Structure 1
Amino acid sequence: MKKYVYILVLALVSAIGFAQQKKVTTAIDSTRKKIGAEFKLTLKTNVDTLSKVTFPAFKNFGALEVIQEYPTDTIAQGDRYELVKKYGLTQFDSGRYMVPRLPVIINGKPHFSDSIRVEVANVAVDTLKQKMYDIKDIVPVKDEIGDWWIYLLLLIAIGAGGYFLYHYLKKKQALKADEFAYKTPIEKATMLLQTLEKKELWQKGEVKTYYSELTDIARNYIEEAIHIPAMESTTSELIVALRAASVQKKMSLTPETVENLERVLRQADLVKFAKSKPLDFEITEDRNKIEKVIVTLDKAIPQEEEEIDDLAYKKALHEKMLRRQKRNRILATAGFVVLALVGVTAYFVITKGFTYVKDNVIGSQTKELLEGEWVYSEYGDPGVKLETPHVLKRQKSSDAVPKDAMAFLKDMTIFSYGSLAGKFYSMVSTMKFANETELDLNQSYEGVLQTLEMRGAKNIFMKPEEFSTQQGITGIRGYGTMMFLDPIAQKSYKVYCEILLFKQDGGLQQVMVAYEEGDAYGKDILSRIINSVELKKAAP
């Protein structure tokens, strides 16, 4: 029973790891320098002539900034090469810092350098002896604001285009709807006359256009109210047809009314075809004559009662038209916005690639984590120090370990961020047993794999290797891939995972980092976290 509980505790706070062979030698020109001075870090490796070697290319080595990356020197040694890579490091705050273990990829396999502790000392300044200099000119710096403002302007432009398109269509459709809404030809003619005056065409010199619209209003009214083909008739034909209709329909028209209509129509013909230009007062009189003619004709037409059913039908038809117009406006605006977004997205995909669009426009969780503000903290006892994108949150040990198992533990802490079912996960745990226990890391590693399977992992391909840290703490490092099912999207995805497992005086220290395979940002995050790990030895 005791052995079962022991393995269960190890599995529930699982860790995985791999060992490292010393194929990379590390040297630094000095372990103590003043603020802003350059530390020269040297990495060396000896390989055969067919080996492919990739040295680290980070902007920061732990808390130290890489200010210079020197070219790689290649020294031939018979059938082997010695590759020498130098870096210039600096720090502008005094204190003690750790140059972390750095990965050198040899034939696709990572080999790590030694970590080195350095000290950055303050610069003593004697203001009595220090020479004084003029203030230097302002040095322009590169704008670090990023490209987000471009996307914002594009969204504003697309939104503004959609807004103006919607209101343009609304205004255009309103004219058609208003015309349809008139119950009688007289209402339509009266409204059109008012609209014509608001345009102020003849005041702007557009006399020909003004007369054309003025006479069209009169002709449309006569055609709709008296049923004469007025729009297709000449002036003479229209007057003859109007007189005939007045007799047939028993309309009481005075000769003055017909003469006023004929006078304005002929005046319009002169303006349109003979380029005549009436005086301002004549134009006003012609407009008044047309209005008076329309009113007189409407009164002279024998009135017929319009059935209620016809009015209700016309009203329902009008409301249906309004709904259709609104739907068309919305569809047209939405179509414009969608096409604009697709066009802009296609442009960026073609010019910058799909990954750029996905990470910068759609968004990437791991990119935001990598580029955000990192924290360096110590977790558990014995302490595990490491750098992470977020402070790891303490988890309840009682939620992870059964009560029976807790009885065998003196102390246990678990800190984590994210989830194995998400895009990124990091975890640190430490434990001490109540009674002296001889731990078997290989057995613990097997328990880890079993636990991962219990948590839904499939197709686990993990490789463990033994190694020793600079502090003399032995451990196991496992690395590899596995499949997980996203319970929300119901989609399986592959995870790359690395887990460190250490033992000290009957206790365990564990570090686990996982990300979706193929995520370049997740890879950089994992590398930065693992390279920053420092272990605190257990108290004797």
Structure 2
Amino acid sequence: MKSKLVLFLCLLSITVWAQPKKVTTSIDTTKNKIGAEFQLTLKTDVDTLSKVKFPESKFFGALEVIQSYKIDTVRKGERYELIKKYGLTQFDSGKYTIPRIPVMINGKVSFSDSLKVEVNDVKVDTLKQKMYDIKDIVKVESPMGTWWIYVLIALLIAIAGFFIYKFIKKIQTKEKGEVIVFKTPIEKATTLLQQLEGKELWQKGEIKSYYSELTDIARNYIEEEIHIPAMESTTSELIEGLRRAAKQKKLKLSNETVENLEKVLKQADLVKFAKVKPLDFEIEEDKKRISNSIVTIHKSIPEMVEEDDELALWNEQQKELARLQKLKKQKRIRIITTIGIVLGMIVIALGSLIYFKGFDYVKDNLIGHPTKDLVEGEWVYSEYGNPGVKVETPKVLKRIDAEKALPKETIALLKEMQIFIYGSMIDNFYLGVSTATFKQETQINLEQAAEGSLKVFEVQGARNIIVKTEDFDTQKGISGKKAYGTLVMIDKNNGKSTKLYYEILVFAQSNGLQQITIMHEESDKYGKQIAERVLNSVELKIAD
């Protein structure tokens, strides 16, 4: 029994040691200078449903984490290889150990291997090295940026608008204007009907406005003369209320008068809500019906001698109504005038900026410019593809499926193809990185490879392509070819054409091709700055 148990434990230990490591660890170099970057790489091979969480820490042992790179995902059949890189550094010389780093895989902790690294001093020969004076203090821009300037300008404009509004209000309070006060409702209705005809609304095609004012005059007259809520009643409610009031107050109203009024009110409802357009003679008839109805209602009212105090009260009410209408009009004038003056100030300020700084400065800083935002944003230095292309970009490049982007005939020749892009060829900026290895040994001609990319541009809609080529060497001395020039890109959706400047870098390594493509509008100065910074940062991982 004991011998069986020992054998079982031995087999178990062999099984445990034979299990593949879930986290593999590597580093680009084990020796470096003070302050230089060690690039630590952690890789996990998991299935598509696994959840992996890499640690985020400021220190790994005695080494400081100066950069936590974005996770790169490589698909291998039904599994994923997740690659996480960290930039580590140390500012004291000596030998250090990068400890085992925990990685959570499906809720369980797996550890990386510990690594030993060495940080060396930078030797300085003070006898041969020239000595220079201490440089002056360099002014650094405030981290707040310039957004507060725009907030301050907006605040000053708002304050100016407030005081302008108050000033106009003060002037208006000193002005005295005469307001027409009508003595009787019939006088008011007759005058308003004459004014309505003078506007010639229906002759100008404003039939809805005409009927709205016409019926409002009639309703307002009935409300003031007979004292029923005509303005807020529906047509049927108004007619019913008019019939009831005629009986109660013994008005001498014929059915024909009430029916004519009802006919016009219903016609107005159709015009306002059903978009009916009466003929010219029908409009004339409706105007006569309203005018005759008002006159008939006025004549049907029994003559009554009103007491002086009632007449005085009515006059006071009319004066108060006129005063309120005048105040409302003055307020509307103040608001419109204030807005006009503030807009004038803004136009003058913008005109001054354009005169002294130029239109492009105003457009880029106030309206905004997409590539300007890219220049001033937080850039990312990362490695793409295999063999790796190291490049600094304004945004992280997005991986796309090469099988969907390339013809099947091309895919059949490739062992591996990886494409990463930002933007598109019809946008104001495009940046792409691609790496490819061929299945069979292939003699790669870099100039022909660049020409192949230009043919892809033609398929995308490029015309009038101008090409220049020259040699290009990275800082580590890896040689390649650079093709550059201009082209006209035509958007197939709307036919719009844009003149673009492009640059293509091509390199041949390990029976494969590495390519960087940059494209932007020819006149875009920010696009030029981005292209220059990207090209200066290009470095290739030397293939094994």
- TM-score class normalised by the smaller sequence: 0.3 to 0.5
TM-score, length-scaled by structure 1? 0.46
- Identify the structure with bigger relative contact order (alpha carbons < 8 Å, sequence gap 6+): 1
